[in-house]
Amino acid sequence: MIYNGVSTGATAVTLVGSGDQYAAPIDGKYSVLIQGIVPGTTASISQTGLVPSGTQSLLFEAADPLTAVQGPLEVYLGTQTIPFFAVGTGPNYTLYGANISAWAGQTEELTFLAPGGTYNNWEIDEITFSPNPVPEPSTLALMLAAVGAYGVRRWRAKESVKVAKR
C-alpha cells in the first residue's frame, strides 16, 4: 500500500490524498488507486459486510488519472463477477452502477480487482449501495394537491375577512 505516490513498475494499491503529485482524490479527501501493472498479478481492495436490505444497486465513481487507456476492472460479490456499466459522468470521473438486488440482506465480500497488464489503473471513490427507489407522485396527484392547497388558502382568507367585518 502506497500513500500519495504511484507505482512505476509493480502492481500496487495507493491511497490518494490531497497533495498527491500524480492524482487528486475524485471526491472528498481520499480515493484509492488500484494499479494492475505486472502481467500475472492483480491489485485489489476488498471488504466483507452486510449488503443492506432493500439494496438494488452498487454505485461507484472511477477514473484513470494516469493513462488514456484503462485495462479491465473486475467487481465481485462473494465469488460472483458483477457486471457494471457507466450510468453518468462527473467533472473528473465516470459513475458506474451494477445490479446487486439478489444479494440484499446478505453478508458478502465486495472486491474491486485490476488484473495485471499494461498500466491498468483505476481510481475508485464513493462506493455506495442504493436503496429501493422512492415512489414519486404522478403529475395529476401533484396538481390536485396544489389546487387543494390553493382552495384551503382562499377559504381561510375569506374566513379571516368575515371575522374582521364582525
Domain ranges for the chain, please list them. Answer: 2-134, 136-166
Residue 48 has pLDDT above 80, yes or no: yes
pTM of the model: 0.70
Order across the sheet with 30-36: list the strands.
2-3, 12-17, 30-36, 120-130, 57-63, 94-99, 85-89
- pLDDT for res 60: 93
CATH topology assigned to domain 2-134? Jelly Rolls (2.60.120)
The string of pLDDT tens digits covering residues 112-126 is: 998 877 677 888 999
Q: What does DSSP assign to residue 150?
A: H
Q: What is the DSSP secondary-structure string of 77-124? A: ETTEE---EEEEE-SS-EEEEEE-GGGTT-EEEEEEEEESSSSEEEEE
